[in-house]
Structures are given as structure tokens and as C-alpha cells.
Structure 1
Amino acid sequence: MNQDTIKGQWKQLGGTMKQKWGKLTDDDLKVAEGNSEYLAGKVQERYGIARDEADAQVREFEKSLRH
């Protein structure tokens, strides 16, 4: 799944993202709207982890969608 596809299916992916990152709010996901940079920033903020770890988690999530 490429970035455009992820953006196109953002609402459908919301449930999957909430399963993975339960601390994210619906508003967080709505504002992110396919923006992986913003999503990583929110994951970092909500979970108190380093930015590179949050980026890695978001990249891994996107990679899992491609299979």
C-alpha cells in the first residue's frame, strides 16, 4: 500500500491504528489524516518515546499494510 492509498483509506484504518496505539484519540487521527509525520509526533507525545522510535513504529505500521 503506498502513501496515497493510505491517505485514501485513512478512516478505515482508524480502527487498526487505535488497536495499535490506543492512547491516540479520534481527534489525533482526524487531524493526522494520512500525514505520517504528524502521526509519529502524536505517538511520540502520547507514549513518551523518542522521535526515532515513533517514526520506526509508524513506518512498520505502514509496511504491514503493504502485505
Structure 2
Amino acid sequence: MHAQGQHAQIEGGWNELKGKVKESWGELSDDELRQFEGDAQQFIGFLQRKTGQAQEQVEKKLAELDARFRPLLGQATAAAQEYLQSGAEAATDAAAYVRDSVAAKHAQAEQAVRRRPIESVAVAFGTGIIAGAVVGLLLRQR
């Protein structure tokens, strides 16, 4: 039970534990760490061969590393989640502001058309003529 419980912890926190394992056993290369990708049983065997330590010593050291750094990782995760949440809230607020602004401008435009329908049609017609002339000039220059 002792070894199996530690294996589960190691497998579950492999990505978090990799950097600290490298600090503890400095002779390990990134390539050596990458080849195990969370397979605790193979990794423990490799560490035994590489360091000459007994399985129990290796497991104990890995469990200490995992336990010591998990609270720090938990704090970092909580901070990241809080940052993402505040970003999501800011995006929601910005979207609501844009939606409200567009609705207000739409209502203003609608009122302007109702108050002065002939002028509105004339402005739209003039804008269309000008846009058509600009597009025609641009196409002719090609």
C-alpha cells in the first residue's frame, strides 16, 4: 500500500514534479525526464539505477518533493483562476457596454429617421452615390 499510494501521487502530479525532481537530482537531463512522462514505476526504477538509492529512498524523496511543492502549485493555480475570472468578467462588462452603446445609437438613428424621413433618405442616397463614386475610381485606377 505504501508504494502504490506514492505511485498514484507521483503520476497525478508528474508535470508539477518534474522541475523539482531535476533540482533534487541535478544529474538528470531534460531528455531523461521527458522519456517517462508520468510513468512512476519506470521513473523510480530509472532513479534507482542512476543514483544508486533504494526504491524506498527514491519514493520517499519523490513524496517529499510532491508534498512540499503542491501547496505552492495550488496557490499559483488559484491565482491563475482568479486572474482568468477577472478577465472573463471584464470581457463580459465590455460586451455589455458595446451592446448597450449600439442599442442606444440604433435608437437615436431610428428617432432621427422618424423625425426627418425625407432628409434621412436624402443622406442615405447621397452616401450611396459617394461610396459608388469612390469604388468606381478605385477600380478604374487598377
Paired position in structure 2 for 1:59? 63
Q: Which residue of 2 aligns with 1:23?
A: 27
Aligned to 2:37: 33
Q: Indicate the structure (1 or 2) with the bigger Cα radius of gyration.
A: 2
Aligned pair count reads 61
Detail structure 1 runs of 4+ shifted over 4 Å in the superposition: none
Gaps of 5+ in 2: 1-8, 72-142
Amino acid at match of 1:47: T
The percent identity for this pair of structures is 28
Q: Whose relative contact order is higher, 1 or 2, with alpha carbons under 8 Å and at least 6 apart?
A: 1
Aligned to 1:48: 52
The CA RMSD measured in Å over matched residues stands at 2.1
* 2-structure distance, mates of 1:23, 1:51: 18
Normalising by the residue count of structure 1, what TM-score does the alignment of the two structures yield?
A: 0.67
Gaps of 5+ in 1: none
Higher helix residue share = 2
TM-score (norm 2): 0.37
1:40–1:54 Cα contact (<8 Å) kept: yes
